[in-house]
Structure 1
Amino acid sequence: MKSGLNAHTCFSGNDELSDYYAETIEDEDAIPVTLVVEVASLDKNLLLPDINGIEEPIMTIVRGISNCRDEEALYDAWMDSTQDWVASLNLIGSIVYGGTVDPLLIQVLDPNTGDLKPLISIEPEADEISPTP
C-alpha cells in the first residue's frame, strides 16, 4: 500500500455492493477492509465503466440499484446509456479507475465506528511486518 492502488482498480459507490464483497471475504475466513477514496480527488478523465461488472453482473445487487430484473434488461439499459463511468455507476454501482491512486488519498473505514482514518496513519500489526533481507 506504500505506492497506493494499482491502475484499473474497481470502486463501488454502493453500500450493498461493498457489503456483498465484504461478506464474500469473510466467507473465506479473512477480514475485509474497506478503503475509501473520494471521487472528487481523482482525475475524471481516468474514470471508466466497470465492463467486467456489466458483462458479469451481480444481479442480486444490480436489481436494487438500477431496477434491471435480469442480465438482458441490464444489457439493454447499458446499450441505451452513454456507456461511460456515470452510466456504470448508475446501472451496477461500480466503476474502474484507470490510474494509480496515491496512498495519501486513501482512507480506511473503521467498521465499528464508521470513522475514516488516513491509510498512511495506520501502523501495521507487528505480525504483519515482514523482515527485509
Structure 2
Amino acid sequence: MRALAHEPELLVLDEPVASLDPAGRREFLRELIGTVVDGGTTVVFSTHILSDLERVALDVAFLHDGRIGLQAPLDELLEGARRVTGAAAAVDALGLRGELRRERLAGYNVTVVARLSGDELERLHAVPGCAMTP
C-alpha cells in the first residue's frame, strides 16, 4: 500500500496478489478498494485470477497479442458470456468475435465468447451440431 501514499492518479499493478494465499488476496483487495475509492485513483490491474477480478473490476479489457481484444463493463461481460460447442471446423467457420477462450477436445471445440451479435446468433443456429449455453 506504500505505492498509494503519494495519492497517484494512475496505479499499474501486474499480478499483485499472485503469490498470496486466498486470505491474503482478499485482504489486499479490500484495502486496495477502500484506498482507491476514497482517493479517486485509476488502477490498471493485470491478473489471471478471475475471481479476484470479479471482486474489484468495473471495466475489463482482455489483451491479445499486445492489443486490447475486448473491453467492456464487467457486468456486461458476465451477463453476455456464452459457451459455444460443436465440431471444430464448424465453430472455426463461425468466426465469432469476442472469443475469450477456446479448447479443442477430441474433434470438437468449446469456445467461450463474451457476447454474440444477432448475426452471430443466426449463424450459430444455422450450423447443425453447434450449441450455446450460458
TM bucket normalised to smaller? under 0.3
Instruction: Report the structure, 1 or 2, having the larger helix content.
Output: 1
Instruction: Work out which of the two has the higher radius of gyration on C-alpha atoms and give 1 or 2.
Output: 2
Normalized against structure 1, the TM-score is what?
0.23
Instruction: Report the structure, 1 or 2, having the larger strand content.
Output: 2
Normalized against structure 2, the TM-score is what?
0.23
